[in-house]
Amino acid sequence: MEIGFVYRAIILEFLFELYVFYFLIAGKLDRAPRFPLRFLAGAAAMLAVAFPVACFYQTFGGNVWGRSFLYLFLFAASVLQMGFCFEERRSTVLFCCSMAYAAQNMTYKLFLLLWCGLRQTGVCDGWGERFELYYHLLYYIFFFAAAAAVYFLLVRRLLPYLSNRRLDHGLLALSLLILGLTVILCSFEDIYFDALSVGGENRFEVWEYFVLRQTGNCFSVICCAVVLLLSFKTVEAKELQQQLAYLRHAIHQSQRQYEISKDTIDLINVKCHDIRYRLGTMATAGEGVTAEAVDDLQKSISIYDSAVETGNHLLDVLLTEKSLYCEQHGITFSCMADGGRLSFLRDGDLYCLFGNIIDNALEAARRVPDRERRVVNLVVKARGDILLIQEDNYFEGELTFKDGLPLTTKEDKGYHGFGTQSIRMIVRQYGGEMTASAEDGVFHLNILFAPESVSPASGSGATE
């Protein structure tokens, strides 16, 4: 083969296909300053490197190890270029590039499955002088169709997780090992089955050769799919670990917040008692303060002197705090809670559970334009040995559910939406079940705790 043909039809075509997937996958990465200039400089360098690589292919391309080294060298050079263009960790760049290479190789092998079948059945024998034209037309139609399918079915599922930049290096190394073995296997197949072909590449007189060729193509597709699935499992596992760490931190922070809130509310109540006593003394002494003024002032501070009593001191503190918030924002908060039945919950879990339930409800209610519909109802009651927690509130707009949980309506999806996840995690930790639904502008949350989770206790309370 002429060096120009090798450079154009083999090396550059491979790089073009590889970079198609690079750009599909690298969209979530942080670009380096002067990215266009960096990319153009890197592309010029790759074009320059590709020529001696083509010379190497012409000399050593007929050898399995030579061809394998060639493609792995081009892959390594492209990884260096991508690292030059993006401000990311080297492991992240390598991870994305390995996915792109696996997707490119998978697409190529899927085409070979089709092409070998067409050649073996003689479908393309009548193409004559337009053989090359029809071949490339078929190839690129298939390539872009298969690239789109691989992207939407596999690659796109990985992209939302890449923002975390936390990778499992063990699985990354395993993916690279599988990818390297696949490259070697492909080189072996291409060289030796080309030697067995008759009347054109990938056409065999012996049926067993054709079956072996297609088996090798299928095996390569499976290996590349394994690489992509391992990549997905890598980032998914890291995402789950990060979410779990966040939820545990949120529970710990909730317990600290309870201690702060308790001290604050106790201090407010003491001060309110002092102010009321002083106002009464001033009115009795006739120090220029009328009884009506004293009455108005006492009504104004009465909200800070009201305590919710449910039979659970921690829940009392939380509900009292949320009642003050509701008073400030014009939200009607109705609560009937048998807090004594919640003693089986650890303090941090209880505060995080009800804190998230109420916070989500109050945030939704606050957005309702009609003040009469700014209502939140919370019920905690026992039915026999079953403990039931119900929360209902009006909301504005539409809610979308995924895996039984409402998706956050905030624009910053990366840092919100953990509230409902933490609720379900805590509920399941104690053997309970949680369901959520929305109907006619009302959100419903129901939690049931199983008998073995609930320890009977006395005490009940209600507040309106």
CATH of the domain at 384: 3.30.565.10
**H/E element, 168:** none
Cβ(45)–Cβ(88) below 8 Å: no
**H/E element, 249:** helix 207-285
Residue 377 lies in a domain: yes
Domain match, 133 and 54 both: yes
pLDDT of residue 252: 56
Helices (H), 27-63: 35-60
Number of domains in the chain: 2
Single residue among 237, 253, 276 that ends a domain in this structure? 237
Locus of tokens 């980032």: 235
Single residue among 189, 221, 237 that ends a domain in this structure? 237
Q: pTM of the predicted model, to two decimals?
A: 0.55
Domain match, 15 and 117 both: yes
Please, which residues have CB within 8 angstroms of residue 144's CB and are 6 or more apart in sequence? Answer: none
- Residue whose C-alpha is closest to residue 391's, from 351, 443, 450: 443
Residue 32 lies in a domain: yes
Q: Give the Cα separation of 77 and 70 in Å (integer).
A: 11
pLDDT of residue 177: 77
- Burial (Cβ within 10 Å: 0-12, 13-18, ≥19) of residue 91: middle
Range of the structural domain that residue 421 is part of = 308-463
What DSSP letter does each residue of 117-155 carry, written as one string?
A: HHHHHTTTGGGGGGHHHHHHHHHHHHHHHHHHHHIIIII
Residue 245 lies in a domain: no
Residue 252 lies in a domain: no
- Burial (Cβ within 10 Å: 0-12, 13-18, ≥19) of residue 105: buried
Cβ(210)–Cβ(120) below 8 Å: yes
Q: Which residues of the chain have a pLDDT value below 70?
A: 1, 27-28, 154-155, 157-172, 174-175, 198-201, 234-308, 408-418, 451-464
Q: Give the Cα separation of 166 and 189 in Å (integer).
A: 36
**H/E element, 28:** none
Residue 209 lies in a domain: yes
Domain match, 204 and 327 both: no
Domain match, 11 and 93 both: yes
Please, which residues have CB within 8 angstroms of residue 44's CB and are 6 or more apart in sequence? Answer: none
Residue 263 lies in a domain: no
Number of Cβ atoms within 10 Å of the Cβ of 116: 21
Single residue among 237, 257, 289 that ends a domain in this structure? 237
pLDDT of residue 412: 42
- One-letter identity of residue 22: Y
Residue 109 lies in a domain: yes
pLDDT of residue 202: 72
Domain match, 193 and 332 both: no
Residue 422 lies in a domain: yes
